[in-house]
Structure formats: C-alpha cells, structure tokens
Structure 1
Amino acid sequence: MVRHTARSLPRPPDMFDREWEWSELTAFATSEGTGPRLGVVSGRRRQGKSFLLQALADATDGFYYAAVEASATESLHLLGEAVARFTGAAVPPRPANWDQALELLFELAADRPLPVVIDEFPYLVRNAPALPSQLQAALGVRSERHRKERPRILLCGSAMSFMGGLLSGASPLYGRAGLDLVVHSLGFREAAEFWGIRDPRLAVLVHAIVGGTPAYRREFVDDDVPDGPDDFDAWVCRTVLNPARPIHGEAPYLLAAEPDLRNRSLYHSVLAAVASGNRTSGGIASAVGRRATDISLPLSVLRNCGLLTAEPDAFRANRTTYHVAEPLITFHHAVVRPETASLSRRRGAARMWEHSRPTFLSKVVGPHFERLCREWVEWHADPATFGGMPIQVASGTVADPVNRTSLEADVVVHGAIGQDQGILLSVGEAKWHKVMHLGHLQRLRRMLGLLEARGVDTTHARPACYSGAGFDPELRAAEERGEVVLVDLHRLYHGS
C-alpha cells in the first residue's frame, strides 16, 4: 500500500476546539499524492465550516471561493474574478461554461498540492445541475492521464439533504471522495467552555437554547453571556426573545434555508409537534391533524436535512422516537412561536417569559437534560462506571402488563464486556427538577425485573439515576453500597 505523506499544520490560535477536524483537513490538503483529490465538508449552518476552510486556505496559501445565490453566468463571472485575485492576473479569465471553469481550478495546482475550496457548493448546482457530473469527468480524465495538477478540491455546503446525497450511490461523485467530513456542533462540555460558563446548572439552561453552535455566541448575541444563574432570565429576554437580536429570527431561517422543503407550514407544524413532546409518528400526526402515512415524507425530509433525529427504542424494535436536532428550533417552537403576538409589544419579553418559563423547564429543559445524560454516557463515562464499554445508548419503553402501563427509561446502555457484545449494562432515569430518592431506584428495579421476565439478561445491568437537583441521603447511601450509579450536574460536566 502506498501511503501519501502530509504535513502537520499548527491550529490557528483563534480556533476553539476542532482539533480532529483541523487534523483531517490539513492531512487531506497537504497530501503529496499525485493527481487530483476530492473532499466533501458538510454540517448544519453556523457550525464554523467556512471558518475552518478559510483558515485552511490561509495556512496553505490555497484557493477559497464562496459561491452566492446567482445565475450560472454570474457565478462563472464571479469565479473568474476570484481566480484573478488569487493568481494576480491583470485580466480576469472569463470561463464560458463549467468545463472551462474546472480547467481553471485544476490549473491552480500545477506546481504543488493545493486546496481548492468551493464553499456553498449547492448554490452553484442549483443553476448548473450537471456540475457534479462535469466534476466527476474532470477528475477521471486527470487521474487516468496522471496529470501533474494536484488540486485538493473541497466542496462545502450546509444544505444537508443535498450534501448527504452528493456522495451517495446515485451520485456521479460516488466513490470519488477521499474525505467526507461532517462538522458537528460542539459537545455540551466544550460548549460550556466556549461560552465561559462554569456553573453546570446555568450551562444546561443555556445549552437547552443555543446548543453547541459556535456562531450563536459571537455573531448572534454579540458575546452577551449570562453573568451567573441569577442573570439567566434577563439574558433570555435581551437575546433570544429580543426581536432586535439576530438570534431571535434564526430558528425559522434554519428551516427556510433548506431547498428541499416545499410545504413549509407543514414542516413547521411537525417540528412544533415534536418540540411539544410528541415523539412518535402517530403522536406527531395527531398533533398536526394528518394521518400517519401523510407525515412519513415530512419526517424523512426533516431527517435528511439534519433537523430531526430518529432514535430506535432500546427495547421495542418497532418503535422509533423523533427529536429536534437543533435546540434553538425546539425553544422557538415550544416557547417563542406560540407567543409571537406578545413579543411584538414593547417590553413584552419579560412578561411573556414569566408566563412561558414553566413550559421551557418542562418541554425544553427536561427532555434536553435527558439527551445530555445519554451524551455523557457515550462520550465521557468511564467504562468502569457501568462495568463495560458503552456501545449503544438510547431511551427505552418496557411494558408493565400487571399495571397495564409502560415504564420509560431515559438512559439505556448496551455495551461490551470482554468479547461479549450487546449486553445490557444500565437502565437509568433522568430528572431535571426533582431530588431523586429510593422510589426512583425501586422503579428501576421493577423495570429490570420486567425485562428479566421477558428473557433479557440483566445480570450486569446497573440502575442509574441522573438528576439536576441532587439525591436524598438514602439514595446516596445506596450508591455507597454499590446499588446504584448516581450522576449529578458536577459529574455530568466534570466527572466520568
């Protein structure tokens, strides 16, 4: 196997986190292999993709072009001007079509490996649908002829449905990419550090609104960070509930920016239904007044756009729950959208927030805390915590035939012990606002008993309680006896 060497470039001092993404990009961009290479960078809006790629171009003296919404003719004209600025040519080239434009881009890398970044690539394809096929042909011709040009072409975009299909089996570029990098939101611990929030309770509340999207701190609230827990309510009123701040209108824009969404009113209603606590397709359909078959397409499209996630039930193979992927959208649909009229009045934010705060805590923070607990197990928990390596973490539902009800587990952990895979390691419950007690542990034991009666191996399963309000002394004593795993806010943010 031939290995192509690549240079390790120092991360820019103003770049927070993103060590792995930077390493992958620089390795791709500086690989000494012959011929052209193709990479794709995607991710939801505001995650810092353009910042990463501009920094890469600066560090490697590479070419960066950000497409805009324009006609095909104007796009070619703008690309020619960008090439002229990069090369220092007195007269900008005037490519008549995309075949000529690709020729220009490939020639930029005649002497060395050179990153050629095309940001907002979906804008170009919208008016030039054949562009992926033309790019595929150009890559094929140059690879076969062993041409000296070594462009490291990076296509970037935020339209997740389009970018997700760019390398699929039906795409001309299938099998061509040497890099397929998705830039995700910051994890909840990294987000707290990025916002400079040390109080874990405040960190959860802020994350339940803005998530781990980097742009929301600087560009969208102008570095306005809550000055401690007592300032949180006022911060909400002066930022996300303030029509004068960009973050106030961001959630609807995230939906409007997706080109594959046609009936936007229906998609807004679906997101609102999920944000209000309807997690199953039947519940969502009922909330929007449609049949379950009528919303299968909207659910699929929203998933492809990265706005919804579908999570299988840990214990029921035929049950899937849906969750809004972007916290700001959840906050908008659960809290802001129903109170739009109130916010239009002067000084309406404070009064509206006083009325809506209980909804925020129950509909937004409670479910969000459950998801953070699952994320903690996946990324931060020591394997010794559950006696094995966590592999799958989900929520789950267990039928209780005696009481004719169902018990819900917020954090179900399956993992590996030695060579054995898929072992049930833990069943847990998460409560944001309640001090947990022995009654919660007894409920988890009841759940494990029901699972055992169904033939599930519960030998290694450890009950776990996750709380934003703490645990009573009896439950702490049970922890000391090794009967339960307890995770409070301090452990969530600082422990394993």
Structure 2
Amino acid sequence: MMEVFMDKPSGMFDRDFEWAELSRFATYSAPEATLGVVSGRLRQGKTFLLDALTTATGGFMFTGTETTEADALRQFGDALAAYVGEPTPFRFVNWEEAIARLLRIATTGPTVAVIDEFPFLAKASPALPSIIQRALDPTAQRGNTPVRLLLCGSALSFMGRILSGNAPLRGRAGLELVVPTLDFRLAARFWELDDPRTAALTNAVVGGTPAYRREFAQGDTPAGADDFDSWIIRAVLNPGRPLFREGRYLLAEEPELHDTTLYHSVLAAIADGNHNRGGIASYLGRKSTDLAHPLAVLQDVGMITHEQDAFRRNRSAYRIAEPLLAFYHAVMRPAWGELERPGRAPNVWRRLQPTFRSKVVGPHFERICREWTRWYCEPGTLDGHPSTVAGGTVPDPANRTAHEIDVAAFGHDETGREQLLAIGECKWNDIMGLGHLQRLDRIRDLLRAREGVNAQSTRLLLFSGTGFSDDLCAVARRDPTVQLVDLSRLYTGA
C-alpha cells in the first residue's frame, strides 16, 4: 500500500522528520483503525504539530482537561457531535460507547482523530487504555472505520508506560513519536540569532523549547551580545512576563510530582553543583537513601538526566535537563523576593552574573560541547566516528588526585574494539593556552597506561567561549591531534 505524504505547513520550523511520520501515519490506506502515540516534554510544539495535521486532513482533535470522568465524557460528546455534524451533543454513558463512536467517524477514507492531553483523561478513567485496546482488537474491528487515532501527552513517565511491559496498548501502536527539544544549533536558527556567543548565552537560559520564543517572549529576542543583559532583564527577570514564573510552573504541571517543594530542593542542589546523590543529600540535610524516589521521578518526567561516568562505572552524575530550570534555581530562586518587586531586576542581575557564568553557562557550555562532538564535529576531527560522548573522572594515583574530563568520545576501530577517540576540556570565559593542553596530555598518558582503555590514537579537544593563545594556536596548526573549537566552529562548522 502506498502512503501519500503531505506538504509541511509553511509556518512550521524544522520538524521535517516528525511531520513525515505523522503524514505517513495519517494517510496509511489500510481499512482498519490504527493507533499512534505522540509524546515529549512540555512546550515542545506537540499540540501545534497535531493541530496542523488535523487541519490539513480534516481530522478531529479533542484536548483533555483535569476533570471528572463524567465531565470529560460530556466534553468529548459535545466535541465529537460538532465534528460529525450532529445537531445535538452525544451523551455517552461510558468510554466504551465514546471510543466505539469515535472509531466510526472515518466514512470517506482514513481520518485522523487526536486525543491530546491523554494522561488527564486516563487519570480520571484508569480503564481507558484497556478500553481503547479492546476497541482496536481485530475481533472488534467489524464496526470500525479507518480512523488514525493519535494519543498525545507531556507526562513522559505515563506516556512511556502505556506502550511498555504488560500495558494494554503494548504492541498496538503503528507510530511511537517523541517530539524532542531543539538542539543548540536549531535553537539558534529558531531564535534567529546569528552571533554564536549570544546564541550560546540564550540557549543556556531557555534551551530549545519553541514556546519560549513564540508564546512566552512574544518574539522578543536578544538583538546581539550588547543586548543580552537587557533582554534578560526585560524578558526573563521581569515579573510581568510569563518566563518569570515558568521555572515554578514546570513542576506544578507534572502530575507525577506531588511534593513540589522537595523536587525544587533537589533541583536547587543540582544547580548548585551537587551532581551525585551524596552531595545532593548533604545539601538538603537528608539521608542519601531518602532521595532514591524523588531522583527517579525527576528522571522519569524528563527534568533531570542520570549520566554514567565515562571512566568510572561506579560513578554517575545527575544534571538538570531543562536549562530554564537550572537558570531559575541558580539565579532566580535565591533572589525571588527581590525579583518580585518591579525595578529590582537590574541590580539582581548585576550581582548574580558571576553565579550565572559559573553555575549556568559553564555547565551548559560543556553540554553543548559534548553534543557537538557527538553529532556535529567535522570529518577528520576525530580518528573515527563517535558512538558515545560523556564526561568522566580519571584517577591520578601518583599525585593522589583525580582529573575531571568534560568531553570523552568513544568509538570503535575496524575490528569492533572500543577506542577512546578524544578527551576534551571546556572553558567558557577563559582564553585557553598551553597549560590546558599540557593538562589534557597528562591525562591522556594516564589513560594510555590504564588497562582496558584503548587510547593510543586519542585526540585532544579544547573548547573555548573566549579564544585561544597564540602559542596554542601554533601547536594546533602543526599537530592535527590537537583540535581547537571556538563558538564559531560549534555553531557553523560543517
């Protein structure tokens, strides 16, 4: 069977892959009803995509709300009756009736039906996934029409569970689409920021969430490096703008997070530089074992990541996944009472800029550098293709210390054996010189002497947001195993 792919709407930025997959699913010509699942973190444009899809195909879209089962059925009956042209609303007794009627709306061919904010409906009606499963069962398809049913939600833990393990809908979906956050290069294009330094600073605050430019900032973007501080004051630290309270609301909108005070405290500890469970527990004055559940929940809902140390398997690091949360906890939360008073933002921002550089921009720059190494570094930068990139810690027994590595890129040689392609150091606000190179060279020697690490062809990467000394540049020109990566190369290199 041939699918018919639809042209992407002209106002849609990027999302080529997502639109192609939705288009394929929507135009699939099989006669039976089919199921798809769309998920992703808050504010990534899922509803925008699905609204565009239903508009383009003449489909049906219903958005769930936090309400009772009876009220949800009433709202659904109203919306479905209006869609099919019934003069009076449907009054469904239960969801079995409602889903059965929904799956009969495709009278002229494949028809898209979207249920957005599906977790809200399932919370009020826990049996709803099972009801949909039974309705889609081949033995129940006799009354169905070729409806292309899409369930959408931002509650990542819930959306991940509905298709996993023994869940009723396991194996039923013909589409499992996750709408991701824009990466740092796409975010720069989306915000129309041509200056790499301004782009990196902006990304450290708002990340790649599309809604923060369109709905929250209403198109207000930094005009350049000289305007960045003014933009922070007028668009982010301004109590009259939506971005001001977004760091608080993000947690409040997650149904899995019941005690938001505890979760905010955990995020504050991570933002302050505590990346392991012991450090977080010490910051909060709690036992390490008390944090297993809140850390797991924050990870499940996509607020934090848990990253394995590249060189020490018994070590790992928790990091905040949403830049605006890191900015809120490092910069805004400690000065919240002052920031709520109009006119105080300029003084607060001047005072907290060192904190912003060290606690927000520095760690975020490291993240961008790891992302560049994994996905964007030019051919020839490394002696091989990177399969994993992470940070790590290298013990130095002779000096009774350990060295932090910001970037460690691993790949495989022609025999399939893992090899360490590169190690790197990232400095946002420092001009890097020979001392930085010598440090990396010393760490490479330690790794070459370590059993189980193939570091013979490891290259040295130096990332700087400020620049490099002349003598370091001279070494890099002579030695291709030394790679210097500035902001221009991060954002525009092939």
Give 2:93's aligned residue.
96
Deviation at 1:111, TM superposition (A): 3.4
Deviation at 1:242, TM superposition (A): 0.7
Deviation at 1:107, TM superposition (A): 0.4
Distance 1:480 1:33 in 2: 59
Partner amino acid, structure 2, of 1:461: T
Deviation at 1:126, TM superposition (A): 1.3
| Number of equivalenced pairs | 492
**1:287-298 correspondence runs (5 A):** 287-298=283-294
Give 2:333's aligned residue.
337
Query: Counterpart of 2:78 in 1: which secondary structure?
Result: helix
Given that 2:270 and 2:319 are in contact with CA atoms closer than 8 Å, whether structure 1 keeps it comes out as yes
Cα distance change of structure 1 residues 415 and 146 upon mapping to structure 2, 3 Å threshold:
farther
**1:292-331 correspondence runs (5 A):** 292-331=288-327
Runs of 4+ in 1 over 3 A off after TM superposition: 144-148
What TM-score, normalized by structure 1, do the two folds share?
A: 0.97
Q: Which deviations, in whole Å up to 9, do the C-alpha atoms of 1:409-433 show, x marking residues without a partner? A: 1010001333424211000000000
Query: Counterpart of 2:236 in 1: which secondary structure?
Result: coil
Partner amino acid, structure 2, of 1:230: D
Give 1:433's aligned residue.
429
Cα distance change of structure 1 residues 148 and 269 upon mapping to structure 2, 3 Å threshold:
closer
Deviation at 1:216, TM superposition (A): 0.3
Given that 2:196 and 2:488 are in contact with CA atoms closer than 8 Å, whether structure 1 keeps it comes out as yes
Given that 1:415 and 1:425 are in contact with CA atoms closer than 8 Å, whether structure 2 keeps it comes out as yes
Query: Counterpart of 1:384 in 2: which secondary structure?
Result: coil
Distance 2:190 2:320 in 1: 23
Partner amino acid, structure 2, of 1:6: E
Distance 1:7 1:421 in 2: 43
Distance 2:179 2:417 in 1: 29
Does 2:176 match 1:180? yes
Given that 1:34 and 1:146 are in contact with CA atoms closer than 8 Å, whether structure 2 keeps it comes out as no
What TM-score, normalized by structure 2, do the two folds share?
A: 0.97
Given that 1:110 and 1:148 are in contact with CA atoms closer than 8 Å, whether structure 2 keeps it comes out as no
Query: Counterpart of 2:337 in 1: which secondary structure?
Result: helix
**1:190-201 correspondence runs (5 A):** 190-201=186-197
RMSD across aligned positions (CA): 1.2
Query: Counterpart of 1:118 in 2: which secondary structure?
Result: strand
**Aligned partner (choices 280, 283, 287) of residue 279 of structure 2:** 283
Does 2:210 match 1:214? yes
Query: Could you list the runs of 5+ residues in structure 2 that have no partner in the other structure?
Result: none
Given that 1:386 and 1:462 are in contact with CA atoms closer than 8 Å, whether structure 2 keeps it comes out as yes
Distance 1:437 1:344 in 2: 43
Distance 1:90 1:238 in 2: 49
Query: Could you list the runs of 5+ residues in structure 1 that have no partner in the other structure?
Result: none
Distance 1:313 1:156 in 2: 34
Does 2:386 match 1:390? yes
Give 1:51's aligned residue.
48
Give 1:486's aligned residue.
484
**Aligned partner (choices 132, 152, 162) of residue 156 of structure 1:** 152
**Aligned partner (choices 468, 480, 493) of residue 465 of structure 2:** 468
**Aligned partner (choices 26, 29, 32) of residue 26 of structure 2:** 29
Given that 1:5 and 1:33 are in contact with CA atoms closer than 8 Å, whether structure 2 keeps it comes out as no
Cα distance change of structure 1 residues 41 and 421 upon mapping to structure 2, 3 Å threshold:
farther
Deviation at 1:479, TM superposition (A): 1.1
Partner amino acid, structure 2, of 1:321: A
Query: Counterpart of 1:178 in 2: which secondary structure?
Result: strand
